């Protein structure tokens, strides 16, 4: 792989302001045109509002045993961050490549495109796929139509590699992420006459205590197969709460936000069932003694699937052989990997750069990691010949 070519592609990619809340059609068009110029087959997956698209790019003829490389085109905002230079212009300095998305994860996208550019398509015995999504930083909605298409139309992929920055360490498991909004509806009254109202804040406070109770149950029930994790159990917490209108008014409304980091997909259902049970038995009866129409709604905002460890899976074996390592790690943050796994594709997370540099002002990837990522992809693509 030509290092200079990969760097030039990265410079182009960083130049596109593809922050999640904006349209990504410019970067999509650039990548699609690049793929077409290399002889690839392009599939586009538009968002419901048609302001964004995800891409599935195939190099080589269709058939079983292909390898899929996955990444996201969106980046987090630079708002309120102080940068040394323009975040949307690549800067090279002291062995580092700076720019928004340099490590998370336009660096990996650039390496994928550079690797593909060096392929002799006539020699490919099995196809190479690039899956580039939108909105990974907010909902992971962009990867879902790609996964549905793969499940329906692309048989027997050998493995998927999600190229998030792992410092070239193999990640075989990660937690999921689920967010719920809880809205408590009570009844307003003057604070001197509390029996005439139903205090939504008091009810919400009790619910928050119950969330903590559920969290403690998970903490005291570690899962043996979760030993790879720094925190070897499912976690959940309340991070936002708001309610009330004045200090002398019984609060008629209150809402709060729960985030869970489940080890397994079924933990999400357990949390919801347990919270609903406690809500019905310990919170609503008290509220309805003074206001029969008191209610609580729990709405899922978004959900990212966990990546569940599949020891010695085809993905772990292949990537381990090429990387020269049998060390498998687990992380508590979430990626798109779980979506590919649920489609029956052996999946690992593996990419250049450190997650510690992601989302930061003066985000960067070291040139040594960038080059190492390129060498790895070149060897991986070589297995398709």
**Residue 22 CB neighbours (<10 A):** 15
**Residue 144 pLDDT > 70, yes or no?**
yes
User: What digits encode the pLDDT tens for the residues 220-277?
Assistant: 987 777 889 989 999 999 999 999 999 999 999 999 999 999 998 899 999 999 999 9
CB 174, CB 335: distance < 8 Å: yes
pLDDT for residue 327:
95
Work out the end-to-end distance of the chain between its first and last CA atoms, rounded to an integer number of angstroms. 16
Residues marked as catalytic: 74, 136
174 CB-near residues (< 8 Å, 6+ apart): 306, 307, 330, 331, 332, 333, 334, 335, 337, 338, 349
**Residue 331 pLDDT > 70, yes or no?**
yes
Domains of the chain: 3-174+308-382 (3.40.630.10), 177-304 (3.30.70.360)
Chain center to CA of 205: 30
The answer for 156, left when phi > 0, alpha when psi is -120 to 50, beta otherwise, is left
Is pTM, for the whole model, over 0.75? yes
The answer for 244, left when phi > 0, alpha when psi is -120 to 50, beta otherwise, is left
- Per-chain mean pLDDT for the chain: 96
pLDDT for residue 225:
73
pLDDT interval class at 3 (50, 70, 90): low
**Residue 41 pLDDT > 70, yes or no?**
yes
CB 119, CB 59: distance < 8 Å: yes
**Residue 115 pLDDT > 90, yes or no?**
yes
């Amino acid at each position: 792989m030509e290092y200079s070519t990969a760097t030039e592609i990265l410079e182009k990619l960083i130049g596109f302001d593809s922050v999640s809340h904006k349209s990504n059609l410019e970067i999509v068009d650039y990548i699609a045109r690049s793929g077409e110029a290399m002889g690839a087959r392009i599939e586009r997956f538009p968002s419901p509002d048609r302001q964004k698209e995800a891409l599935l790019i195939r190099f080589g003829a269709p058939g079983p045993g292909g390898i899929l490389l996955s990444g996201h085109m969106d980046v987090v905002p630079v708002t309120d961050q102080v940068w040394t230079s323009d975040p949307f212009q690549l800067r090279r300095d002291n062995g580092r490549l700076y720019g928004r998305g340099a490590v998370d994860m336009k660096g990996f996208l650039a390496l994928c495109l550079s690797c593909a550019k060096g392929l002799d398509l006539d020699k490919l015995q099995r196809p190479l796929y690039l899956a580039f999504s939108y909105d990974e930083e907010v909902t992971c909605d962009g990867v879902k139509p790609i996964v549905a298409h793969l499940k329906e139309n692309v048989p027997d992929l050998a493995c998927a590699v999600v190229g998030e920055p792992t410092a070239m360490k193999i990640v075989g498991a990660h937690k999921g992420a689920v967010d719920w909004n809880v809205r408590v509806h009570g009844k307003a009254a003057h604070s001197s006459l509390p029996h005439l109202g139903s205090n939504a804040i008091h009810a919400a406070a009790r619910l928050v205590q119950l969330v903590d109770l559920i969290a403690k149950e998970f903490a005291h029930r570690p899962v043996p197969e979760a030993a790879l994790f720094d925190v070897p159990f499912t976690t959940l917490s309340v991070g936002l709460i708001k309610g009330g209108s004045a200090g002398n008014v019984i609060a008629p409304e209150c809402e709060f936000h729960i985030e869970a980091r489940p080890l397994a997909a079924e933990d999400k259902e357990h949390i919801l069932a347990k919270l609903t049970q406690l809500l019905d038995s310990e919170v609503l009866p008290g509220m309805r003694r003074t206001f029969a129409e008191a209610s609580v709604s729990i709405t899922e905002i978004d959900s990212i699937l966990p990546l569940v460890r599949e020891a010695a899976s085809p993905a772990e074996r292949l990537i381990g052989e090429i990387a020269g390592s049998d060390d498998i790690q687990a992380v508590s943050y979430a990626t798109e990997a779980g979506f590919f796994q649920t489609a029956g594709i052996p999946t690992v997370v593996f990419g250049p750069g450190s997650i510690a540099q992601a989302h930061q002002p003066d985000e960067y990837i070291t040139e040594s990691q960038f080059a190492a990522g390129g060498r790895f992809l070149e060897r991986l693509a070589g297995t398709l010949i």
